[in-house]
Structure 1
Protein backbone atom coordinates (compact mmCIF):
# COMPACT_ATOMS: atom_id res chain seq x y z
CA UNK A 1 0.00 0.00 0.00
CA UNK A 2 2.87 2.38 0.79
CA UNK A 3 4.32 1.81 -2.68
CA UNK A 4 0.94 2.63 -4.23
CA UNK A 5 0.73 5.87 -2.22
CA UNK A 6 4.23 6.88 -3.33
CA UNK A 7 3.49 6.14 -7.01
CA UNK A 8 0.19 8.06 -6.88
CA UNK A 9 1.87 11.01 -5.15
CA UNK A 10 4.62 11.22 -7.74
CA UNK A 11 2.06 10.76 -10.53
CA UNK A 12 -0.05 13.64 -9.20
CA UNK A 13 2.96 15.91 -8.74
CA UNK A 14 4.29 15.35 -12.25
CA UNK A 15 0.82 15.71 -13.80
CA UNK A 16 0.27 18.95 -11.90
CA UNK A 17 3.63 20.24 -13.09
CA UNK A 18 2.93 19.41 -16.74
CA UNK A 19 -0.59 20.89 -16.62
CA UNK A 20 0.71 24.05 -14.99
CA UNK A 21 3.38 24.49 -17.62
CA UNK A 22 0.95 23.94 -20.50
CA UNK A 23 -1.56 26.38 -19.02
CA UNK A 24 0.90 29.22 -18.70
CA UNK A 25 -0.73 31.16 -21.55
CA UNK A 26 -4.32 30.86 -20.30
CA UNK A 27 -5.88 34.18 -19.48
CA UNK A 28 -3.24 36.12 -21.38
CA UNK A 29 -5.76 37.76 -23.70
CA UNK A 30 -7.91 38.84 -20.78
CA UNK A 31 -4.89 40.36 -19.03
CA UNK A 32 -4.00 42.31 -22.16
CA UNK A 33 -7.50 43.76 -22.36
CA UNK A 34 -7.37 44.77 -18.71
CA UNK A 35 -3.93 46.29 -19.23
CA UNK A 36 -5.21 48.40 -22.12
CA UNK A 37 -8.12 49.64 -20.02
CA UNK A 38 -6.00 50.42 -16.94
CA UNK A 39 -2.97 52.60 -16.46
CA UNK A 40 0.71 51.74 -16.22
CA UNK A 41 0.56 51.43 -12.44
CA UNK A 42 -2.11 48.75 -12.60
CA UNK A 43 -0.09 46.93 -15.28
CA UNK A 44 2.90 46.69 -12.96
CA UNK A 45 0.70 45.31 -10.19
CA UNK A 46 -0.78 42.77 -12.60
CA UNK A 47 2.68 41.60 -13.63
CA UNK A 48 3.52 40.90 -9.99
CA UNK A 49 0.46 38.66 -9.71
CA UNK A 50 1.76 35.93 -11.94
CA UNK A 51 0.46 32.40 -11.73
CA UNK A 52 2.14 29.64 -9.77
CA UNK A 53 3.50 28.04 -12.93
CA UNK A 54 5.18 31.29 -13.99
CA UNK A 55 6.68 32.05 -10.57
CA UNK A 56 7.64 28.59 -9.28
CA UNK A 57 7.05 25.58 -11.53
CA UNK A 58 8.36 26.96 -14.80
CA UNK A 59 11.66 28.23 -13.26
CA UNK A 60 12.15 24.87 -11.54
CA UNK A 61 11.54 23.03 -14.80
CA UNK A 62 13.94 25.40 -16.55
CA UNK A 63 16.71 24.84 -13.97
CA UNK A 64 16.18 21.09 -14.03
CA UNK A 65 16.33 21.02 -17.81
CA UNK A 66 19.31 23.38 -17.96
CA UNK A 67 21.42 21.04 -15.86
CA UNK A 68 20.43 18.09 -18.01
CA UNK A 69 21.03 19.88 -21.30
CA UNK A 70 24.49 21.05 -20.18
CA UNK A 71 25.55 17.45 -20.78
CA UNK A 72 23.94 17.41 -24.24
CA UNK A 73 26.20 18.10 -27.24
CA UNK A 74 25.78 21.45 -28.94
CA UNK A 75 24.76 19.81 -32.21
CA UNK A 76 21.80 18.06 -30.59
CA UNK A 77 20.71 21.35 -29.00
CA UNK A 78 20.74 23.06 -32.38
CA UNK A 79 18.72 20.21 -33.87
CA UNK A 80 16.14 20.50 -31.10
CA UNK A 81 15.90 24.28 -31.66
CA UNK A 82 15.38 23.66 -35.38
CA UNK A 83 12.63 21.11 -34.67
CA UNK A 84 10.85 23.53 -32.33
CA UNK A 85 11.04 26.24 -34.98
CA UNK A 86 9.70 23.90 -37.66
CA UNK A 87 6.77 23.04 -35.38
CA UNK A 88 6.10 26.73 -34.61
CA UNK A 89 6.92 26.36 -30.91
CA UNK A 90 10.16 28.33 -30.74
CA UNK A 91 8.39 31.41 -29.35
CA UNK A 92 6.63 29.36 -26.63
CA UNK A 93 9.28 26.85 -25.61
CA UNK A 94 13.00 27.02 -25.16
CA UNK A 95 15.14 24.04 -26.00
CA UNK A 96 15.98 23.45 -22.32
CA UNK A 97 12.33 23.65 -21.21
CA UNK A 98 11.18 21.21 -23.88
CA UNK A 99 13.94 18.82 -22.87
CA UNK A 100 12.85 19.10 -19.24
CA UNK A 101 9.25 18.35 -20.18
CA UNK A 102 10.48 15.34 -22.15
CA UNK A 103 12.33 13.98 -19.11
CA UNK A 104 9.33 14.69 -16.86
CA UNK A 105 7.01 12.64 -19.08
CA UNK A 106 9.61 9.85 -19.22
CA UNK A 107 9.88 9.68 -15.44
CA UNK A 108 6.08 9.80 -15.11
CA UNK A 109 5.52 6.84 -17.44
CA UNK A 110 8.39 4.96 -15.84
CA UNK A 111 6.75 5.26 -12.42
CA UNK A 112 3.32 4.36 -13.82
CA UNK A 113 4.60 1.21 -15.50
CA UNK A 114 6.62 0.24 -12.42
CA UNK A 115 3.64 0.82 -10.12
CA UNK A 116 1.18 -1.13 -12.30
CA UNK A 117 3.41 -4.19 -12.50
CA UNK A 118 4.15 -3.91 -8.79
CA UNK A 119 0.44 -4.12 -7.99
CA UNK A 120 0.05 -7.37 -9.95
CA UNK A 121 2.95 -8.98 -8.04
CA UNK A 122 5.32 -9.53 -10.96
CA UNK A 123 9.02 -10.31 -10.38
CA UNK A 124 11.23 -7.36 -9.49
CA UNK A 125 13.29 -7.71 -12.68
CA UNK A 126 10.11 -7.50 -14.76
CA UNK A 127 9.13 -4.32 -12.92
CA UNK A 128 12.51 -2.77 -13.74
CA UNK A 129 12.20 -3.80 -17.38
CA UNK A 130 8.71 -2.36 -17.71
CA UNK A 131 9.85 0.82 -15.97
CA UNK A 132 12.62 1.20 -18.55
CA UNK A 133 10.13 0.57 -21.35
CA UNK A 134 7.87 3.27 -19.89
CA UNK A 135 10.82 5.66 -19.70
CA UNK A 136 11.69 5.05 -23.36
CA UNK A 137 8.07 5.49 -24.45
CA UNK A 138 7.79 8.72 -22.48
CA UNK A 139 11.00 9.98 -24.00
CA UNK A 140 9.94 9.20 -27.58
CA UNK A 141 6.35 10.47 -27.38
CA UNK A 142 7.26 14.20 -27.45
CA UNK A 143 9.67 13.52 -30.33
CA UNK A 144 6.96 11.94 -32.49
CA UNK A 145 4.45 14.60 -31.48
CA UNK A 146 6.93 17.32 -32.49
CA UNK A 147 7.49 15.65 -35.87
CA UNK A 148 3.73 15.40 -36.43
CA UNK A 149 3.30 19.05 -35.49
CA UNK A 150 6.06 20.12 -37.90
CA UNK A 151 4.54 17.99 -40.67
CA UNK A 152 1.12 19.50 -40.09
CA UNK A 153 2.59 22.99 -40.18
CA UNK A 154 4.48 22.22 -43.39
CA UNK A 155 1.33 20.88 -45.06
CA UNK A 156 -0.61 23.98 -44.05
CA UNK A 157 2.08 26.24 -45.49
CA UNK A 158 2.17 24.31 -48.77
CA UNK A 159 -1.62 24.38 -48.97
CA UNK A 160 -2.05 28.12 -48.38
CA UNK A 161 1.08 29.32 -50.21
CA UNK A 162 -0.42 29.48 -53.76
CA UNK A 163 -3.43 31.59 -52.69
CA UNK A 164 -1.26 33.90 -50.59
CA UNK A 165 1.24 34.18 -53.41
CA UNK A 166 -1.53 35.13 -55.87
CA UNK A 167 -2.75 37.86 -53.52
CA UNK A 168 0.81 39.06 -53.04
CA UNK A 169 1.38 39.16 -56.80
CA UNK A 170 -1.82 41.09 -57.47
CA UNK A 171 -1.01 43.59 -54.72
CA UNK A 172 2.51 44.23 -56.03
CA UNK A 173 1.36 44.56 -59.64
CA UNK A 174 -1.39 46.97 -58.49
CA UNK A 175 1.29 49.38 -57.33
CA UNK A 176 1.84 48.50 -53.67
CA UNK A 177 5.33 48.09 -52.29
CA UNK A 178 6.48 44.69 -51.14
CA UNK A 179 6.11 45.54 -47.45
CA UNK A 180 2.62 46.98 -48.02
CA UNK A 181 1.69 43.87 -50.00
CA UNK A 182 2.85 41.66 -47.12
CA UNK A 183 0.69 43.72 -44.75
CA UNK A 184 -2.29 43.27 -47.06
CA UNK A 185 -1.71 39.51 -47.10
CA UNK A 186 -1.49 39.42 -43.29
CA UNK A 187 -4.78 41.32 -43.05
CA UNK A 188 -6.74 39.31 -45.62
CA UNK A 189 -5.42 35.80 -44.96
CA UNK A 190 -5.32 33.61 -41.86
CA UNK A 191 -3.06 30.77 -40.89
CA UNK A 192 0.57 29.98 -40.24
CA UNK A 193 2.01 31.66 -43.32
CA UNK A 194 0.12 34.91 -42.74
CA UNK A 195 1.43 35.00 -39.17
CA UNK A 196 4.97 34.38 -40.42
CA UNK A 197 4.70 37.27 -42.89
CA UNK A 198 3.34 39.49 -40.12
CA UNK A 199 6.37 38.56 -38.01
CA UNK A 200 8.66 39.51 -40.92
CA UNK A 201 6.94 42.90 -41.16
CA UNK A 202 7.39 43.50 -37.45
CA UNK A 203 11.10 42.72 -37.72
CA UNK A 204 11.44 45.11 -40.68
CA UNK A 205 9.65 47.87 -38.74
CA UNK A 206 12.10 47.37 -35.86
CA UNK A 207 14.94 48.23 -38.25
CA UNK A 208 16.08 44.82 -39.39
CA UNK A 209 17.03 44.48 -43.07
CA UNK A 210 14.44 42.78 -45.22
CA UNK A 211 16.89 40.14 -46.47
CA UNK A 212 17.81 39.02 -42.97
CA UNK A 213 14.16 38.88 -41.89
CA UNK A 214 13.32 36.74 -44.93
CA UNK A 215 16.30 34.46 -44.31
CA UNK A 216 15.15 33.94 -40.72
CA UNK A 217 11.74 33.01 -42.11
CA UNK A 218 13.46 30.28 -44.13
CA UNK A 219 15.37 29.03 -41.08
CA UNK A 220 12.15 28.75 -39.08
CA UNK A 221 10.43 26.77 -41.82
CA UNK A 222 13.14 24.64 -43.42
CA UNK A 223 10.89 21.65 -44.24
CA UNK A 224 8.65 23.86 -46.45
CA UNK A 225 10.55 23.53 -49.74
CA UNK A 226 8.24 25.75 -51.82
CA UNK A 227 8.45 28.58 -49.30
CA UNK A 228 12.24 28.29 -49.20
CA UNK A 229 12.46 28.54 -52.99
CA UNK A 230 10.15 31.56 -52.98
CA UNK A 231 12.16 33.40 -50.33
CA UNK A 232 15.46 32.59 -52.10
CA UNK A 233 14.06 34.06 -55.34
CA UNK A 234 12.84 37.19 -53.53
CA UNK A 235 16.20 37.73 -51.83
CA UNK A 236 18.02 37.27 -55.13
CA UNK A 237 15.64 39.68 -56.87
CA UNK A 238 16.21 42.25 -54.12
CA UNK A 239 19.98 41.92 -54.48
CA UNK A 240 19.98 42.18 -58.29
CA UNK A 241 17.25 44.82 -58.56
CA UNK A 242 14.87 42.61 -60.54
CA UNK A 243 11.14 43.35 -60.61
CA UNK A 244 9.53 41.56 -57.69
CA UNK A 245 6.17 41.33 -59.46
CA UNK A 246 7.58 39.19 -62.26
CA UNK A 247 9.40 36.97 -59.80
CA UNK A 248 6.21 36.46 -57.77
CA UNK A 249 4.19 35.57 -60.86
CA UNK A 250 6.78 33.04 -62.06
CA UNK A 251 6.99 31.49 -58.61
CA UNK A 252 3.20 31.25 -58.40
CA UNK A 253 3.10 29.33 -61.68
CA UNK A 254 5.91 26.99 -60.62
CA UNK A 255 4.39 26.29 -57.19
CA UNK A 256 1.00 25.43 -58.69
CA UNK A 257 2.71 23.09 -61.15
CA UNK A 258 4.54 21.38 -58.30
CA UNK A 259 1.31 20.96 -56.34
CA UNK A 260 -0.38 19.48 -59.40
CA UNK A 261 2.51 17.04 -59.76
CA UNK A 262 2.23 16.06 -56.09
CA UNK A 263 -1.48 15.37 -56.50
CA UNK A 264 -0.83 13.26 -59.61
CA UNK A 265 1.88 11.36 -57.77
CA UNK A 266 -0.48 10.58 -54.90
CA UNK A 267 -3.13 9.48 -57.38
CA UNK A 268 -0.66 7.10 -59.02
CA UNK A 269 0.21 5.59 -55.63
CA UNK A 270 -3.42 4.97 -54.76
CA UNK A 271 -3.82 1.70 -56.78
CA UNK A 272 -0.72 0.24 -55.15
CA UNK A 273 -2.00 1.10 -51.67
CA UNK A 274 -5.41 -0.37 -52.50
CA UNK A 275 -3.84 -3.73 -53.31
CA UNK A 276 -3.28 -4.58 -49.63
CA UNK A 277 -6.95 -4.41 -48.53
CA UNK A 278 -8.03 -5.98 -51.82
CA UNK A 279 -5.72 -9.00 -51.48
CA UNK A 280 -6.26 -9.64 -47.77
CA UNK A 281 -9.92 -8.66 -47.30
CA UNK A 282 -11.89 -8.29 -50.54
CA UNK A 283 -10.52 -11.15 -52.68
CA UNK A 284 -10.88 -13.84 -49.96
CA UNK A 285 -14.51 -12.81 -49.43
CA UNK A 286 -15.19 -13.00 -53.17
CA UNK A 287 -13.53 -16.43 -53.40
CA UNK A 288 -15.64 -17.72 -50.51
CA UNK A 289 -18.88 -16.46 -52.10
CA UNK A 290 -18.06 -17.71 -55.61
CA UNK A 291 -16.18 -20.95 -54.95
CA UNK A 292 -17.74 -21.88 -51.62
CA UNK A 293 -21.01 -23.42 -52.89
CA UNK A 294 -19.19 -25.32 -55.64
CA UNK A 295 -16.64 -26.65 -53.16
CA UNK A 296 -19.44 -27.83 -50.85
CA UNK A 297 -21.13 -29.68 -53.71
CA UNK A 298 -17.85 -31.32 -54.80
CA UNK A 299 -17.21 -32.49 -51.23
CA UNK A 300 -20.71 -33.98 -50.98
CA UNK A 301 -20.29 -35.77 -54.33
CA UNK A 302 -17.02 -37.31 -53.24
CA UNK A 303 -18.48 -38.75 -50.05
Structure 2
Protein backbone atom coordinates (compact mmCIF):
# COMPACT_ATOMS: atom_id res chain seq x y z
CA UNK A 1 0.00 0.00 0.00
CA UNK A 2 1.17 3.53 -0.76
CA UNK A 3 2.53 5.07 2.49
CA UNK A 4 1.40 8.54 1.39
CA UNK A 5 -2.17 7.30 1.05
CA UNK A 6 -2.03 5.64 4.47
CA UNK A 7 -0.73 8.83 6.07
CA UNK A 8 -3.49 10.81 4.37
CA UNK A 9 -6.16 8.44 5.66
CA UNK A 10 -4.76 8.63 9.18
CA UNK A 11 -4.63 12.41 9.04
CA UNK A 12 -8.21 12.54 7.81
CA UNK A 13 -9.33 10.34 10.68
CA UNK A 14 -7.55 12.53 13.20
CA UNK A 15 -9.10 15.59 11.56
CA UNK A 16 -12.61 14.20 11.95
CA UNK A 17 -12.31 13.90 15.75
CA UNK A 18 -12.17 17.64 16.48
CA UNK A 19 -14.58 18.21 13.59
CA UNK A 20 -17.20 16.13 15.40
CA UNK A 21 -16.42 17.75 18.75
CA UNK A 22 -16.50 21.39 17.58
CA UNK A 23 -20.32 21.66 17.12
CA UNK A 24 -21.00 20.10 20.51
CA UNK A 25 -18.47 22.30 22.30
CA UNK A 26 -19.84 25.41 20.55
CA UNK A 27 -23.35 24.63 21.74
CA UNK A 28 -22.06 24.03 25.27
CA UNK A 29 -20.23 27.35 25.32
CA UNK A 30 -23.32 29.22 24.14
CA UNK A 31 -25.42 27.60 26.85
CA UNK A 32 -22.77 28.35 29.46
CA UNK A 33 -22.60 32.03 28.43
CA UNK A 34 -26.38 32.29 28.77
CA UNK A 35 -26.27 30.76 32.25
CA UNK A 36 -23.51 33.17 33.28
CA UNK A 37 -25.52 36.15 32.06
CA UNK A 38 -28.61 35.00 33.96
CA UNK A 39 -26.49 34.44 37.08
CA UNK A 40 -24.94 37.91 36.79
CA UNK A 41 -28.38 39.53 36.43
CA UNK A 42 -29.76 37.66 39.43
CA UNK A 43 -26.73 38.59 41.56
CA UNK A 44 -26.87 42.22 40.54
CA UNK A 45 -30.52 42.43 41.53
CA UNK A 46 -29.69 40.90 44.91
CA UNK A 47 -31.71 37.73 44.36
CA UNK A 48 -30.43 34.65 46.11
CA UNK A 49 -33.44 32.36 46.03
CA UNK A 50 -34.97 30.89 42.91
CA UNK A 51 -36.81 33.54 40.95
CA UNK A 52 -38.63 31.21 38.65
CA UNK A 53 -36.32 31.79 35.69
CA UNK A 54 -36.69 28.81 33.40
CA UNK A 55 -33.62 27.00 32.23
CA UNK A 56 -32.61 27.39 28.64
CA UNK A 57 -33.72 24.41 26.66
CA UNK A 58 -30.84 22.33 25.41
CA UNK A 59 -30.35 22.11 21.62
CA UNK A 60 -31.72 18.92 20.06
CA UNK A 61 -28.27 17.54 19.28
CA UNK A 62 -26.97 18.08 22.81
CA UNK A 63 -30.18 16.70 24.34
CA UNK A 64 -30.01 13.57 22.16
CA UNK A 65 -26.37 12.89 23.03
CA UNK A 66 -27.07 13.48 26.74
CA UNK A 67 -30.06 11.12 26.62
CA UNK A 68 -27.89 8.44 25.08
CA UNK A 69 -25.28 8.95 27.80
CA UNK A 70 -27.82 8.71 30.61
CA UNK A 71 -29.24 5.56 29.03
CA UNK A 72 -25.78 4.01 29.17
CA UNK A 73 -25.34 5.16 32.78
CA UNK A 74 -28.67 3.62 33.81
CA UNK A 75 -27.61 0.24 32.43
CA UNK A 76 -25.07 -0.10 35.23
CA UNK A 77 -22.05 -0.63 32.96
CA UNK A 78 -20.18 2.05 34.89
CA UNK A 79 -19.54 1.63 38.58
CA UNK A 80 -20.58 4.22 41.14
CA UNK A 81 -16.95 5.04 41.84
CA UNK A 82 -16.31 5.71 38.14
CA UNK A 83 -19.40 7.90 37.89
CA UNK A 84 -18.36 9.85 40.97
CA UNK A 85 -14.88 10.45 39.56
CA UNK A 86 -16.35 11.55 36.24
CA UNK A 87 -18.70 13.99 37.95
CA UNK A 88 -15.86 15.43 40.00
CA UNK A 89 -13.71 15.83 36.89
CA UNK A 90 -16.53 17.58 35.02
CA UNK A 91 -17.27 19.87 37.96
CA UNK A 92 -13.58 20.75 38.23
CA UNK A 93 -13.71 21.69 34.56
CA UNK A 94 -16.71 23.99 34.99
CA UNK A 95 -19.42 21.57 33.78
CA UNK A 96 -22.14 21.77 36.39
CA UNK A 97 -25.70 20.66 35.92
CA UNK A 98 -27.61 17.57 34.95
CA UNK A 99 -26.48 17.08 31.36
CA UNK A 100 -22.70 17.14 31.75
CA UNK A 101 -22.22 13.49 32.65
CA UNK A 102 -24.72 12.26 30.07
CA UNK A 103 -23.16 14.38 27.33
CA UNK A 104 -19.67 13.10 28.15
CA UNK A 105 -20.67 9.43 28.16
CA UNK A 106 -22.91 9.84 25.11
CA UNK A 107 -20.18 11.52 23.07
CA UNK A 108 -17.85 8.65 23.92
CA UNK A 109 -20.38 6.08 22.73
CA UNK A 110 -21.11 7.96 19.51
CA UNK A 111 -17.46 8.51 18.60
CA UNK A 112 -16.58 4.88 19.34
CA UNK A 113 -19.18 3.84 16.77
CA UNK A 114 -18.95 6.66 14.21
CA UNK A 115 -15.18 6.91 13.77
CA UNK A 116 -14.62 3.17 13.05
CA UNK A 117 -17.49 3.27 10.53
CA UNK A 118 -15.91 6.29 8.81
CA UNK A 119 -12.51 4.60 8.78
CA UNK A 120 -14.04 1.38 7.38
CA UNK A 121 -15.79 3.29 4.60
CA UNK A 122 -12.70 5.28 3.70
CA UNK A 123 -10.48 2.20 3.66
CA UNK A 124 -13.02 0.04 1.83
CA UNK A 125 -11.61 0.84 -1.61
CA UNK A 126 -7.96 0.81 -0.55
CA UNK A 127 -5.92 -2.29 -1.29
CA UNK A 128 -4.13 -3.19 1.91
CA UNK A 129 -3.53 -6.17 4.11
CA UNK A 130 -6.49 -7.28 6.26
CA UNK A 131 -4.45 -6.91 9.44
CA UNK A 132 -3.73 -3.26 8.57
CA UNK A 133 -7.39 -2.67 7.77
CA UNK A 134 -8.46 -4.09 11.13
CA UNK A 135 -5.75 -2.11 12.90
CA UNK A 136 -6.87 1.15 11.29
CA UNK A 137 -10.49 0.56 12.31
CA UNK A 138 -9.40 -0.35 15.84
CA UNK A 139 -7.23 2.77 16.04
CA UNK A 140 -10.23 4.87 15.01
CA UNK A 141 -12.27 3.27 17.81
CA UNK A 142 -9.53 4.02 20.35
CA UNK A 143 -9.34 7.63 19.14
CA UNK A 144 -13.10 7.97 19.49
CA UNK A 145 -12.98 6.56 23.02
CA UNK A 146 -10.15 8.79 24.23
CA UNK A 147 -10.90 12.04 22.40
CA UNK A 148 -13.64 13.22 24.86
CA UNK A 149 -11.20 12.70 27.74
CA UNK A 150 -8.62 14.80 25.90
CA UNK A 151 -11.14 17.58 25.23
CA UNK A 152 -12.39 17.62 28.84
CA UNK A 153 -8.82 17.58 30.16
CA UNK A 154 -7.89 20.62 28.09
CA UNK A 155 -11.06 22.47 29.07
CA UNK A 156 -10.45 21.63 32.73
CA UNK A 157 -6.90 23.01 32.56
CA UNK A 158 -8.12 26.22 30.91
CA UNK A 159 -10.88 26.59 33.50
CA UNK A 160 -8.53 26.11 36.44
CA UNK A 161 -5.99 28.54 34.97
CA UNK A 162 -8.74 31.12 34.52
CA UNK A 163 -9.82 30.65 38.15
CA UNK A 164 -6.30 30.87 39.52
CA UNK A 165 -5.43 33.88 37.35
CA UNK A 166 -7.94 36.13 39.09
CA UNK A 167 -7.58 34.87 42.65
CA UNK A 168 -5.04 37.48 43.76
CA UNK A 169 -7.26 40.32 42.46
CA UNK A 170 -10.26 38.78 44.23
CA UNK A 171 -8.30 38.65 47.49
CA UNK A 172 -7.44 42.35 47.16
CA UNK A 173 -11.12 43.13 46.72
CA UNK A 174 -12.02 40.96 49.71
CA UNK A 175 -9.49 42.89 51.80
CA UNK A 176 -11.20 46.14 50.82
CA UNK A 177 -14.60 44.66 51.72
CA UNK A 178 -13.31 43.35 55.07
CA UNK A 179 -11.76 46.71 55.99
CA UNK A 180 -15.01 48.41 55.02
CA UNK A 181 -16.83 46.33 57.65
CA UNK A 182 -18.52 43.64 55.56
CA UNK A 183 -18.88 40.15 57.00
CA UNK A 184 -17.29 37.14 55.34
CA UNK A 185 -20.43 35.97 53.52
CA UNK A 186 -21.24 39.45 52.27
CA UNK A 187 -17.63 40.05 51.17
CA UNK A 188 -17.51 36.84 49.13
CA UNK A 189 -20.85 37.62 47.52
CA UNK A 190 -19.88 41.20 46.69
CA UNK A 191 -16.53 40.19 45.19
CA UNK A 192 -18.27 37.57 43.07
CA UNK A 193 -20.58 40.28 41.69
CA UNK A 194 -17.87 42.86 41.02
CA UNK A 195 -15.31 40.53 39.45
CA UNK A 196 -17.68 38.77 37.04
CA UNK A 197 -16.61 40.83 34.02
CA UNK A 198 -12.86 40.52 34.60
CA UNK A 199 -12.74 36.89 35.80
CA UNK A 200 -16.07 35.13 35.13
CA UNK A 201 -14.80 31.67 36.09
CA UNK A 202 -13.66 32.79 39.51
CA UNK A 203 -16.89 34.75 39.95
CA UNK A 204 -18.81 31.53 39.34
CA UNK A 205 -16.86 29.72 42.05
CA UNK A 206 -17.36 32.57 44.51
CA UNK A 207 -21.08 32.66 43.73
CA UNK A 208 -21.40 28.94 44.44
CA UNK A 209 -19.52 29.41 47.71
CA UNK A 210 -21.78 32.33 48.64
CA UNK A 211 -24.86 30.21 47.99
CA UNK A 212 -23.50 27.37 50.12
CA UNK A 213 -22.71 29.79 52.95
CA UNK A 214 -26.34 30.89 52.92
CA UNK A 215 -27.71 27.33 52.83
CA UNK A 216 -25.30 25.34 55.02
CA UNK A 217 -25.37 25.99 58.74
CA UNK A 218 -21.66 25.22 59.20
CA UNK A 219 -19.73 27.78 57.16
CA UNK A 220 -16.53 25.76 57.46
CA UNK A 221 -18.02 23.03 55.25
CA UNK A 222 -18.87 25.55 52.53
CA UNK A 223 -15.39 27.07 52.65
CA UNK A 224 -13.79 23.63 52.47
CA UNK A 225 -15.96 22.73 49.47
CA UNK A 226 -14.60 25.77 47.64
CA UNK A 227 -11.23 24.07 47.26
CA UNK A 228 -12.57 20.53 46.95
CA UNK A 229 -14.67 21.35 43.86
CA UNK A 230 -11.74 22.33 41.68
CA UNK A 231 -8.80 20.76 43.48
CA UNK A 232 -6.74 23.96 43.20
CA UNK A 233 -4.15 24.35 45.94
CA UNK A 234 -4.68 28.11 46.05
CA UNK A 235 -8.42 27.75 46.67
CA UNK A 236 -7.76 25.11 49.31
CA UNK A 237 -5.41 27.53 51.04
CA UNK A 238 -7.99 30.29 50.81
CA UNK A 239 -10.65 28.03 52.32
CA UNK A 240 -8.29 26.93 55.08
CA UNK A 241 -7.34 30.53 55.84
CA UNK A 242 -10.98 31.60 56.08
CA UNK A 243 -11.78 28.62 58.30
CA UNK A 244 -8.94 29.62 60.64
CA UNK A 245 -10.19 33.19 60.84
CA UNK A 246 -13.61 31.89 61.89
CA UNK A 247 -12.24 29.32 64.33
CA UNK A 248 -9.50 31.37 66.03
CA UNK A 249 -10.77 34.91 65.50
CA UNK A 250 -7.85 36.05 63.34
CA UNK A 251 -8.45 39.45 61.68
CA UNK A 252 -9.82 38.73 58.21
CA UNK A 253 -8.02 41.56 56.42
CA UNK A 254 -4.63 40.57 57.86
CA UNK A 255 -5.02 36.91 56.84
CA UNK A 256 -6.21 37.80 53.35
CA UNK A 257 -3.42 40.32 52.80
CA UNK A 258 -0.82 37.73 53.78
CA UNK A 259 -2.35 35.13 51.47
CA UNK A 260 -2.58 37.61 48.58
CA UNK A 261 1.10 38.50 48.98
CA UNK A 262 2.06 34.82 48.96
CA UNK A 263 0.00 34.12 45.83
CA UNK A 264 1.54 37.03 43.94
CA UNK A 265 5.01 35.94 44.99
CA UNK A 266 4.32 32.40 43.79
CA UNK A 267 3.04 33.74 40.47
CA UNK A 268 6.18 35.83 40.07
CA UNK A 269 8.30 32.77 40.88
CA UNK A 270 6.53 30.74 38.18
CA UNK A 271 7.18 33.48 35.64
CA UNK A 272 10.84 33.57 36.63
CA UNK A 273 11.08 29.80 36.19
CA UNK A 274 9.58 30.05 32.71
CA UNK A 275 11.99 32.85 31.83
CA UNK A 276 14.93 30.78 33.10
CA UNK A 277 13.91 27.93 30.79
CA UNK A 278 14.07 30.09 27.67
CA UNK A 279 17.83 29.71 27.03
CA UNK A 280 17.47 25.93 27.16
CA UNK A 281 14.43 25.96 24.87
CA UNK A 282 16.19 28.25 22.40
CA UNK A 283 19.18 25.93 22.08
CA UNK A 284 17.54 23.54 19.63
CA UNK A 285 16.17 26.28 17.29
CA UNK A 286 19.55 27.97 17.38
CA UNK A 287 21.35 24.76 16.38
CA UNK A 288 18.84 23.96 13.62
CA UNK A 289 18.35 27.42 12.09
CA UNK A 290 21.01 29.89 13.22
CA UNK A 291 24.25 27.89 13.28
CA UNK A 292 23.87 26.54 9.70
CA UNK A 293 23.45 30.11 8.45
CA UNK A 294 26.55 31.21 10.38
CA UNK A 295 28.58 28.29 8.95
CA UNK A 296 27.32 29.10 5.47
CA UNK A 297 28.34 32.74 5.74
CA UNK A 298 31.73 32.02 7.31
CA UNK A 299 32.77 28.93 5.37
CA UNK A 300 30.84 29.56 2.15
CA UNK A 301 33.39 31.85 0.42
CA UNK A 302 36.26 29.56 1.38
CA UNK A 303 34.42 26.54 0.00
CA UNK A 304 33.72 28.38 -3.27
CA UNK A 305 37.40 29.32 -3.65
CA UNK A 306 38.52 25.74 -2.98
CA UNK A 307 36.06 24.40 -5.57
CA UNK A 308 37.26 26.93 -8.16
CA UNK A 309 40.92 26.00 -7.57
CA UNK A 310 40.19 22.29 -8.01
CA UNK A 311 38.35 23.03 -11.26
CA UNK A 312 41.40 24.89 -12.66
TM-score greater than 0.5 by the shorter chain:
yes
**CA, structure 1 residues 21+65, in 2 after alignment: closer, same or farther (shift >3 Å)?**
farther
Quick check: 2:205–2:226 contact (8 Å CA) kept in 1?
yes
Asked if residue 82 in structure 1 is aligned to residue 88 in structure 2, the reply is yes
Quick check: 1:179–1:201 contact (8 Å CA) kept in 2?
yes
Partner of 2:267: 259
Quick check: 1:106–1:139 contact (8 Å CA) kept in 2?
yes
Tell me the TM-score normalised to structure 1 length: 0.78
Partner of 1:38: none
Partner of 1:173: 179
1:81-111 superposed Cα distances (whole Å, 9 cap, x missing partner):
2221221113354435412321211221111
Quick check: 1:161–1:193 contact (8 Å CA) kept in 2?
yes
Deviates more, 1:75-84 or 1:55-64: 55-64
Separation in 2, partners of 1:20, 1:232 = 35
Secondary structure of 1:106's partner? helix
Partner of 1:233: 241
Secondary structure of 1:118's partner? coil
Partner of 1:134: 140
Tell me the TM-score normalised to structure 2 length: 0.76
Q: For structure 2, which runs of at least 5 residues remain unmatched after alignment?
A: 1-15, 39-51
Asked if residue 158 in structure 1 is aligned to residue 167 in structure 2, the reply is no
Moved over 4 A (4+): 18-29, 49-57
Q: Offset at 1:66?
A: 3.4
Q: Offset at 1:112?
A: 1.1
Asked if residue 194 in structure 1 is aligned to residue 200 in structure 2, the reply is no
Separation in 2, partners of 1:21, 1:123 = 39
Separation in 2, partners of 1:117, 1:66 = 35
Asked if residue 220 in structure 1 is aligned to residue 220 in structure 2, the reply is no
Q: Offset at 1:273?
A: 0.7
Q: For structure 1, which runs of at least 5 residues remain unmatched after alignment?
A: 1-10, 33-42
CA RMSD of aligned residues (A): 3.2
Asked if residue 66 in structure 1 is aligned to residue 51 in structure 2, the reply is no
**CA, structure 1 residues 54+274, in 2 after alignment: closer, same or farther (shift >3 Å)?**
closer
Secondary structure of 1:119's partner? coil
Separation in 2, partners of 1:66, 1:206 = 30
Quick check: 1:21–1:53 contact (8 Å CA) kept in 2?
no
Q: Offset at 1:177?
A: 0.9
Separation in 1, partners of 2:80, 2:268 = 40
Separation in 1, partners of 2:309, 2:143 = 58
